């Protein structure tokens, strides 16, 4: 029987529960389970940082097995940044350990009276005193917990920034983060510093012979796949050299420009490759896309960090115009240590640089910092200030949406976010399906909620021209449903969706062999469940008042043509046509509310009573 662990921090009670067979069949796993339990158990209009919010940690059925790239874990909650549903995916070993401990889902509810951490070993659960680690960095915390619980312990934790309720604190494991939407801030708001698991490897496979055969097929497909070698060698930063010259989609100086001097000579896969000293990855993944890098010279010489990945490299260079490789390592390191989402942090800093240029902020607001494009020191100083909630950092720690409201003076027109979630490193004017993926996403501007691979040459379900003004709603829907389907088993998005090294068919067979449920092998069934999950997450937001008015992009993308680069002059012209097409294909009304027929078709008709009043 597949199980969950319920942890009530207020009462100090832990309880193992079987996941009912109907939920297993209807929602398959991981993100599917979270959608069901979140909708049922987190009531409308609660405060995301109050004790009524719940935090869900989940893994898929293949976590901790020899299947490649299935051991990542997902955090789901109501976001303190956006007030919407949010989900964030983390890597490392923790997912394998969680599965070995016997669970595919942890539901963490309530709040402890004092800082605590949860310790799991041999079927026993203890809520322990976190006084020695509260306020400590993530490496100090993990070092301490390993010392106390031994080398077999694996953990997730939050950093000091989340403890200070910076709204975009991630949950960290090693140096990998479930970064987006403030899942770590929710964990810290519950006074929960860490979850530690000691467990031994075990595989629980319904059909071991078939499973072994399928894993061999998967390994073979991966190694033979186009892109495997380059991705393994350079990791995600390879995209810096590709998206800049071919797509002109790397945003510069707070989404005004499509070009920047010294790019990608300074910020690209070659400069990062020169300072890479090791390759690391998640449990059972030969791609090892994590890169250990070392600062070779200058004031931070010798600093050794895992990263940056593509987003961390871009966000601490493009937005501030600082093409200093070492500075990107430093900023990423501070984010990992203090517990900050790199995208939201760097985006907030880019926003501040533009406000400073326009005179909306002055040195009186920045504690004397001169936010000059190209100068990395104020950027580094602001990362530290955000983590400490000090001076301007205290305002930026609220995220650009709230910060712009607080600053006033028309600052909101420079705040780049969707539903409050800061935009990642792709200019939607240069990649329009990417932009509409954000606008229509259940969690705001997340590139990996429905990455439009079709803009860069994937013919499934059909190719897209990145600059086409309308007609791509069907592909955006396909990507949203496909990603939700992949995350029923927490299949890592890189080998499956981005590199297309294997597909839903193989994943379905692995799911069926692991769980013993033959229906899971069907690609149609996976997409149907993905669609159901997407709609249920949408209904969670609708119940809190979200609708079409929130499915929008920042005005800049609609009114200011992109300056420079290969997509010079591009602008998003007809977003409403794409949104209308998407709603129609989804079976939603013109206000973006799922119709009763759609909910019934998907087997979640019972939620109609909650959302009917929001229809037009
Ligand atoms: S590709 Fe990278 S993120 Fe994905 S499982 Fe492998 S190492 Fe982890």
> Which pTM was predicted?
0.98
**Mutate which of 283, 284, 495, 501 for ligand 1 pocket (most atoms within 8 A of beta carbon):** 495
- Could you tell me the distance, in angstroms and rounded to a whole number, from the CA of residue 63 to the centre of ligand 1? 13
Of the pLDDT bands very low, low, confident and very high (cuts 50, 70, 90), residue 264 is confident
Nearest atom, ligand 1, residue 235 CA: 2
Strand duo 3-8 + 105-109: pairing: parallel
- Could you tell me the distance, in angstroms and rounded to a whole number, from the CA of residue 93 to the centre of ligand 1? 11
- Please write the tens of the pLDDT for every residue from 534-583: 999 999 999 999 999 999 999 999 999 999 999 999 999 999 999 999 99
pLDDT at 52 over 80: yes
Nearest atom, ligand 1, residue 492 CA: 4
- Could you tell me the distance, in angstroms and rounded to a whole number, from the CA of residue 61 to the centre of ligand 1? 17
Distances (CA, A) of 127 to 7, 100, 211, 533: 9, 20, 37, 32
**Range list of β-strands (E), 22-151:** 54-58, 73-78, 85-90, 105-109, 116-121, 124-129
CA atoms within 13 Å, Cβ hemisphere of 369: 27
Nearest CA, atom 7, ligand 1 = 281
- Please write the tens of the pLDDT for every residue from 79-93: 999 999 999 999 999
Mean pLDDT of 61-85: 98
What is the distance between the alpha carbons of residues 390 and 397, in angstroms, rounded to a whole number?
9
Q: Which run of H or of E encompasses 154?
A: strand 153-157
Mean pLDDT of 134-154: 98
Question: CA 67, 529, 464 angle in degrees (round to 5)?
Answer: 85
Distances (CA, A) of 265 to 142, 261, 272, 323, 411: 36, 9, 10, 9, 33
Q: So what's the pLDDT on residue 616?
A: 81
Nearest CA, atom 8, ligand 1 = 282
* Cα diameter, the chain: 68
Closest CA relative to residue 554, chosen from 478, 405, 445: 445
- Please write the tens of the pLDDT for every residue from 145-195: 999 999 999 999 999 999 999 999 999 999 999 999 999 999 999 999 999
Closest CA relative to residue 433, chosen from 581, 244, 559: 581
What is the distance between the alpha carbons of residues 607 and 177, in angstroms, rounded to a whole number?
33
**Mutate which of 492, 497, 502 for ligand 1 pocket (most atoms within 8 A of beta carbon):** 492
DSSP string, 176-237: EEE-TTSHHHHHHHTTEEEEEEE-------SSHHHHHHHHHHHHHHHHHSTTHHHHHHHGGG
What is the distance between the alpha carbons of residues 31 and 11, in angstroms, rounded to a whole number?
27
The structure tokens listed for 331 are: 């900023």
pLDDT at 262 over 90: no
Q: So what's the pLDDT on residue 390?
A: 98
- Could you tell me the distance, in angstroms and rounded to a whole number, from the CA of residue 92 to the centre of ligand 1? 8
Domains 3-198 and 213-422 belong to one CATH topology: no
- Could you tell me the distance, in angstroms and rounded to a whole number, from the CA of residue 290 to the centre of ligand 1? 7
- Could you tell me the distance, in angstroms and rounded to a whole number, from the CA of residue 237 to the centre of ligand 1? 14
- Could you tell me the distance, in angstroms and rounded to a whole number, from the CA of residue 433 to the centre of ligand 1? 25
Radius of gyration in angstroms for the set of CA atoms belonging to the chain, rounded to a whole number: 23
Token pair 């399906």 is at which residue?
Answer: 433
**Which tops the pLDDT comparison, 536 or 1?**
536
pLDDT at 529 over 90: yes
Alpha helices in 362-487 (DSSP H): 376-388, 392-396, 400-407, 432-439, 473-486
Token pair 């119940």 is at which residue?
Answer: 543
pLDDT at 1 over 80: no
- Could you tell me the distance, in angstroms and rounded to a whole number, from the CA of residue 604 to the centre of ligand 1? 33
- Residues with beta carbon inside 6 Å of ligand 1? 69, 72, 91, 281-282, 285, 287-290, 492, 494-495
Q: Is 253 exposed, middle or buried (0-12, 13-18, 19+ CB in 10 A)?
A: middle
Q: So what's the pLDDT on residue 263?
A: 84
Token pair 């539901």 is at which residue?
Answer: 107
- Please write the tens of the pLDDT for every residue from 469-524: 999 999 999 999 999 999 999 999 999 999 999 999 999 999 999 999 999 999 99
- Could you tell me the distance, in angstroms and rounded to a whole number, from the CA of residue 451 to the centre of ligand 1? 16
What is the distance between the alpha carbons of residues 141 and 153, in angstroms, rounded to a whole number?
13
Mean pLDDT of 259-273: 92
Nearest atom, ligand 1, residue 231 CA: 1
Nearest CA, atom 2, ligand 1 = 289
What is the second-level CATH architecture of the domain 432-552+574-614? Orthogonal Bundle (1.10)
Q: CB neighbours (10 Å) of residue 341?
A: 33
Average model confidence (pLDDT) across the chain: 97
- Please write the tens of the pLDDT for every residue from 298-324: 999 999 999 999 999 999 999 999 999
Are 156 and 195 in contact, with CB atoms under 8 Å apart? Answer: yes
**Mutate which of 72, 238, 490 for ligand 1 pocket (most atoms within 8 A of beta carbon):** 72
Token pair 């400073």 is at which residue?
Answer: 356
Q: Is 259 exposed, middle or buried (0-12, 13-18, 19+ CB in 10 A)?
A: middle
Query: What residues contact 251, with CB distance under 8 A and at least 6 apart?
Result: 257, 258, 314, 318, 319, 423, 425, 426, 427
> What is the length of the chain?
616
Are 425 and 318 in contact, with CB atoms under 8 Å apart? Answer: yes
What is the distance between the alpha carbons of residues 338 and 355, in angstroms, rounded to a whole number?
25
Mean pLDDT of 329-358: 98
In the sheet where 3-8 sits, what is the strand order? Answer: 13-18, 3-8, 105-109, 54-58, 73-78, 85-90
Are 303 and 294 in contact, with CB atoms under 8 Å apart? Answer: yes
- Backbone φ and ψ for 260, nearest 5 degrees, come out as -155, 135
- Could you tell me the distance, in angstroms and rounded to a whole number, from the CA of residue 52 to the centre of ligand 1? 33
Mean pLDDT of 26-30: 98
Cross-strand partners of 334:
none
**Mutate which of 285, 451, 507 for ligand 1 pocket (most atoms within 8 A of beta carbon):** 285
Mean pLDDT of 57-79: 98
- Could you tell me the distance, in angstroms and rounded to a whole number, from the CA of residue 283 to the centre of ligand 1? 8
Are 189 and 361 in contact, with CB atoms under 8 Å apart? Answer: no
Domains of the chain, residue spans = 3-198, 213-422, 432-552+574-614
Cis peptide before 182 (omega within 30 of 0): no
Cross-strand partners of 594:
588
What is the distance between the alpha carbons of residues 389 and 255, in angstroms, rounded to a whole number?
25
**Mutate which of 287, 288, 307, 498 for ligand 1 pocket (most atoms within 8 A of beta carbon):** 287
pLDDT at 416 over 90: yes
What is the distance between the alpha carbons of residues 209 and 550, in angstroms, rounded to a whole number?
49
- Could you tell me the distance, in angstroms and rounded to a whole number, from the CA of residue 498 to the centre of ligand 1? 12
**Mutate which of 64, 71, 91, 311 for ligand 1 pocket (most atoms within 8 A of beta carbon):** 91
Q: So what's the pLDDT on residue 152?
A: 94
Nearest atom, ligand 1, residue 70 CA: 5
What is the distance between the alpha carbons of residues 351 and 386, in angstroms, rounded to a whole number?
13
Nearest CA, atom 5, ligand 1 = 69
What is the DSSP-derived secondary structure letter of residue 244?
Answer: I
Compute the 3-state secondary structure of the chain and give helix, strand, coil in percent, each to the nearest 5: 45, 15, 45
Domain 3-198 has CATH 3.60.9.10: yes
**Mutate which of 173, 225, 289 for ligand 1 pocket (most atoms within 8 A of beta carbon):** 289
Token pair 């010489």 is at which residue?
Answer: 301
Are 433 and 475 in contact, with CB atoms under 8 Å apart? Answer: yes
- Backbone φ and ψ for 153, nearest 5 degrees, come out as -80, 140
Q: Is 595 exposed, middle or buried (0-12, 13-18, 19+ CB in 10 A)?
A: middle
- Could you tell me the distance, in angstroms and rounded to a whole number, from the CA of residue 179 to the centre of ligand 1? 15
Q: Which run of H or of E encompasses 143?
A: helix 138-149
Percent of the chain whose predicted confidence (pLDDT) is above 90: 98
Token pair 């590709």 is at which residue?
Answer: 242
Please state which CATH class domain 213-422 belongs to: mainly alpha
- Could you tell me the distance, in angstroms and rounded to a whole number, from the CA of residue 505 to the centre of ligand 1? 20
């Amino acid at each position: 029987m597949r199980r969950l662990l319920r942890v009530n921090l207020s009462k100090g009670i832990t309880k193992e529960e079987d996941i009912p067979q109907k939920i297993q069949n209807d929602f398959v796993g991981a993100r599917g389970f979270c959608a069901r339990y979140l909708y049922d158990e987190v009531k409308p209009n609660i405060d995301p940082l109050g004790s009524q919010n719940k935090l869900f940690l989940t893994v898929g059925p293949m976590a901790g097995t020899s299947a490649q790239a299935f051991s990542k874990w997902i955090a789901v909650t109501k976001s303190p940044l956006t007030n919407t549903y949010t989900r964030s995916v983390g890597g490392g070993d923790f997912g394998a350990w969680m599965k070995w401990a016997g669970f595919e889902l942890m539901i963490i509810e309530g709040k402890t009276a004092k800082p605590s951490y949860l310790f799991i070993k041999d079927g026993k659960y203890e809520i322990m005193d976190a006084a020695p680690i509260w306020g400590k960095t993530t490496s100090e915390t993990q070092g301490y917990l390993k010392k106390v619980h031994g080398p077999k312990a694996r953990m997730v934790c939050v950093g000091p920034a989340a403890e200070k309720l910076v709204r975009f604190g991630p949950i960290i494991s090693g140096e990998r983060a479930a970064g987006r939407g403030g899942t770590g801030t929710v964990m810290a708001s519950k006074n929960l510093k860490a979850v530690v698991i000691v467990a031994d490897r075990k595989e629980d496979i319904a059909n071991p012979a078939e499973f072994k055969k399928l894993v061999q097929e998967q390994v073979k497909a991966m190694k033979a796949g186009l892109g495997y070698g380059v991705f393994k060698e350079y990791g995600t930063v390879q995209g810096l050299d590709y998206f800049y010259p071919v797509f002109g989609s790397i945003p510069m100086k707070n989404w005004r420009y499509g070009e920047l001097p010294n790019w990608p000579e300074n910020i690209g896969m070659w400069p990062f490759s020169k300072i890479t000293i090791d390759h690391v990855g998640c449990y059972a993944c030969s791609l090892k896309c994590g890169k250990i890098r070392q600062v070779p010279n200058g004031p931070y010489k010798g600093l050794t960090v895992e990263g940056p990945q593509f987003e961390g490299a871009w966000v601490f260079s493009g937005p501030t115009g600082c093409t200093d490789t070492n500075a990107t390592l430093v900023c990423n390191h501070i984010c990992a240590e203090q517990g900050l989402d790199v995208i939201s942090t760097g985006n907030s800093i880019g926003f501040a640089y533009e406000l400073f240029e326009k005179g909306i902020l002055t040195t009186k607001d920045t504690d004397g910092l001169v936010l000059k494009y190209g100068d990395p020191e104020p950027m580094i100083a602001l990362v530290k200030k955000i983590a400490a909630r000090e001076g301007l950092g205290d305002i930026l720690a609220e995220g650009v949406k709230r910060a712009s409201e607080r600053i006033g003076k028309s600052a909101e027109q420079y705040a780049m976010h969707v539903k409050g979630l800061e935009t990642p490193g792709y200019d939607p004017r240069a990649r329009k399906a990417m932009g509409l993926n954000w606008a229509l996403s259940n969690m705001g501007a997340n590139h990996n909620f429905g990455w439009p691979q079709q803009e860069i040459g994937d013919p499934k379900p059909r190719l897209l021209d990145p600059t086409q003004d309308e007609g791509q709603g069907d592909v955006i829907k396909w990507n949203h449903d496909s990603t939700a389907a992949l995350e029923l088993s927490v299949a890592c998005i890189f080998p499956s969706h981005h590199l297309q090294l294997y597909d839903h068919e193989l994943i379905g067979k692995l799911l069926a062999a692991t769980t013993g449920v033959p229906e899971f092998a069907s690609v149609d069934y996976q997409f149907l469940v993905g669609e159901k999950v997407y709609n249920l997450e949408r209904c969670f937001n609708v119940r809190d008042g979200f609708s079409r008015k929130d499915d929008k992009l920042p005005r800049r993308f609609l009114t200011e043509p992109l300056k420079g680069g290969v997509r010079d002059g591009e602008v998003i012209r007809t977003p409403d046509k794409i949104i209308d097409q998407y709603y129609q294909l989804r079976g939603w009304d013109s206000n973006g509310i799922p119709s009763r027929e759609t909910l019934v078709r998907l087997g979640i008709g019972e939620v109609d009573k909650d959302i009917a009043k929001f229809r037009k």
